[in-house]
Amino acid sequence: MLNTNGVPDKKQIFSRFPDKKYILKPKAITECYEEIPCNPCSTSCPFDAIYIGEDINTAPIVDFEKCTGCGICVYNCPGLAIFIVQELDNENARFKIPYELIPLPIKGETWSGVNRAGEVITKVLIEKVSLTEKQDKTALIQVLVPIEFINDFITIRSKL
Amino acid sequence: MRIKEHPILTFEEKKKLSFFFDGKEAYGYEGDTIASALHAMGVKVLSHSIELNRPRGLYCAIGNCSSCNMIVDGKPNVRTCVTMLVENMKVKTQVNKGDIYEKD
Amino acid sequence: MKKIDLVIIGGGPAGLSAAKMAAESGLSSLIIERNFKIGGQLVKQTHMFFGSEKQYAKTRGIDIAKILVNDVLKYSDMIEIMTGTTVVGLYKDKVVTLLKDEKYIKVKTKAIIIATGASEKVLAFEKNDLPGIYGAGAVQTLMNVHGVLPGHNVVMVGSGNIGLIVSYQLIQAGVNVLCVLEASSEIGGYKVHASKLKRLGVDIKTSHSIKKAIGKDYLERIIIGKLDDKWEFIEGSEEELIVDALCISVGLSPLSNLLSMIGTEMKYVSYLGGLVPLIDENYETSIENVFVAGDVCGVEEASSAIVEGYLTGLVVAKKLGYIHPNYDKLYLDFKAQLHNLRSGPFGEKLRRGLEEIMR
């Protein structure tokens, strides 16, 4: 339970995923379930795809028609609560996740894939690591994840 | 116990400062407080409570709680968490209320 | 006796913003800071801030500190800064007495903004005074300012935002966080912070607390236990953990002692963290021209402290005859920002608390 251990339930998670037709292209998933005073995801989006509005306590709503999955909101979210997901094919999903730990993974490495409860669930392939000045120390890691974990994968842990 | 690598911060190599802790030679770096230099050496006991002589260490690090008071260059009750380390400083563990006439 | 129109006590986010806004209005001020540098507790906040752009959201606290300090330094002809200086006396005729380098200094002023912030609360349990037990903020200072680790295996007590954020920062520094203990049945802080920890494998144990610390000269082990709904330890639920540091993050209490010293009307409001002054809508206390800004009048996020600083700086300047060219617009904007920051469900206790201290 989100309130007792920090793990959102399936219903909450699904509520943030778009319809299947959208997810064939990369889309932002905002795992921000509470009304907290915060709006950088909305103001940083160059495509106006994340709505919060005047009252910054409103939880973000993504317009999946407009979202291009660029990933700018991912490193601008102070809660590290946004990631990008795309259903690549029948076998793999591609994620872009925020990462603020060292060592950073390197392209081509295989790392453990972790779920929201902190458990290792699979192996994932690191496809790309970006850390530009604009990202202000929050790296963006692009990973290939087996498709069956599309709703479970959340982060990476230690190189294999 | 100094951080060498950090994902957000960079800790540059700074000038080494030597000082004396309870008579023994010790060292820290420029920018250290007395308490941070001692911590980096693994010294956690900075003072003792007045009545029961219980060991005390750093607690608030903002100069508010007095748990880290030590005798510095003969002066008692110095809040070591907000006092910068200076070359050749003489730092001593405090075990009482502090004596204003203490000389080392 | 030194004379200056405005004295600001505390060089943290509230005090610095107040000085900037006063200077923009044409009013000179003196900032008194007891630490050896200004910036307050922002200087150790390595995380990105929440809020909106106006309060520097998504900027890391360490960088917000730089912005606010630079803003003040731009007005070096109007803003004097005294660091390493402690206010030792505050008198009704607006005389402030200071101690700097063992020298006693008297300052006569027309208005005072008290922005002293808050300090970390302690928790009662057996051997809670052992070295190795720290306030969570102290650990942040040690790690993020001085680059020194508090230990290798740490337990955090308290799952408010500070407890959750500092736990995450401990992990970033390479420390093993065993778990976060929360006496209440639910996590206190933002769940995004909790989720961030949980995915890194840190358990947040709700309905759990620390029972006692064990160690001769410093902390070696702790006993934790599960609490029933009356917050009593359930017999047989005890568990022993080997730790070399314990962080206490059970809230902050306003550093309001100076206000009591000049006899402003005070009230104990638990929603605001402790003893706080009664204020009007412009943060003026019961003594004319004595204002407060930031955590000293109710513990909340630094974002609010910044806006309260701007607001009081603006208002004080006007009271002393220096009217900012955009006064009306800015005043409404600061008020709206504060309203916005506090209007969500997390602001509920705070809103109730503030209602209790309105004069």
Confidence (pLDDT) at B95: 86
Which member of B3, B56, B64 has the closest CB to residue C143? B3
**Who contacts C71 (Cβ-Cβ below 8 Å, separation ≥6)?**
C16, C17, C20
Chains that contact B by 3+ CB pairs under 8 Å?
A: A, C
**Cβ atoms within 10 A of the Cβ of C86, count?**
16
pLDDT confidence of B103, banded at 50, 70, 90?
low
**C52-84 residue pLDDT tens:** 999 999 999 999 999 999 999 999 999 999 999
Confidence (pLDDT) at B22: 96
C209 & C95 share domain:
no
pLDDT confidence of B43, banded at 50, 70, 90?
very high
Chains that contact C by 3+ CB pairs under 8 Å?
A: A, B
- By C-alpha distance, which of C3, C180, C10, C5 is closest to C86? C10
Contact A102 B8 (CB under 8 A): no
Mean per-residue pLDDT of chain A: 97
pLDDT confidence of B101, banded at 50, 70, 90?
low
Domain boundaries of chain B, sorted by first residue: 16-92
**C144-187 residue pLDDT tens:** 999 999 999 999 999 999 999 999 999 999 999 999 999 999 99
Confidence (pLDDT) at B102: 56
User: What is the C-alpha separation between A107 and C124, in angstroms, rounded?
Assistant: 49
Contact A101 B5 (CB under 8 A): no
Q: For residue B63, which residues of chain C lie inside 8 Å, CB to CB? A: 34-35
Name the token pair of A141. Answer: 């890691």
- By C-alpha distance, which of A126, A122, A128, A130 is closest to A151? A122
CATH code at position C24 = 3.50.50.60
Sign of CA dihedral C2, C5, C7, C8: negative
- Asked if the interface predicted TM-score (ipTM) of this complex is over 0.90, the answer is yes
The domain of C66 spans: 2-119+252-357
Confidence (pLDDT) at C91: 93
Is the CB of residue A113 less than 8 Å from the CB of residue A143?
yes
- By C-alpha distance, which of C5, C8, C10, C12 is closest to C26? C5
pLDDT at C38 over 60: yes
User: What is the C-alpha separation between B26 and C158, in angstroms, rounded?
Assistant: 35
Q: Which residue from A minimizes the CA distance to C195?
A: A6
Burial readout A108-138 (b: 16 or more C-beta within 10 A, e: otherwise): eeebbbbbbbbeebeebbbeebebeeebeeb
Q: Which residue from C minimizes the CA distance to B60?
A: C138
Which member of C57, C191, C200 has the closest CB to residue A78? C57
Confidence (pLDDT) at C102: 87
Which member of C36, C131, C148 has the closest CB to residue B84? C36
Q: Which residue from C minimizes the CA distance to B66?
A: C129
C301 & C243 share domain:
no
C287 & C242 share domain:
no
pLDDT at B100 over 80: no
Q: What is the mean pLDDT of residues C247-261?
A: 96
**B46-60 residue pLDDT tens:** 999 989 999 999 999
Q: What is the mean pLDDT of residues C308-319?
A: 98
Architecture, CATH, for domain B16-92: Roll (3.10)
Q: What is the mean pLDDT of residues A128-133?
A: 97
The domain of A142 spans: 2-159
C201 & C275 share domain:
no
Rounded to 5°, the CA angle C315-C316-C322 comes to 90
pLDDT confidence of B104, banded at 50, 70, 90?
low
Number of domains in chain A: 1
Confidence (pLDDT) at B97: 86
Instruction: Mark which residues 118-157 of A lie under 8 Å from C by CB.
Output: 118, 136-138, 154-155, 157
Number of domains in chain C: 2
**C214-246 residue pLDDT tens:** 999 999 999 999 999 999 999 999 999 999 999
**A5-63 residue pLDDT tens:** 999 999 999 999 999 899 999 999 999 999 999 999 999 999 999 999 999 999 999 99
User: Cis link prior to A103 (omega < 30° from 0)?
Assistant: yes
C168 & C223 share domain:
yes
pLDDT at A132 over 60: yes
Beta-strand (E) ranges in C215-271?
221-226, 239-242, 245-248, 252-254, 266-269
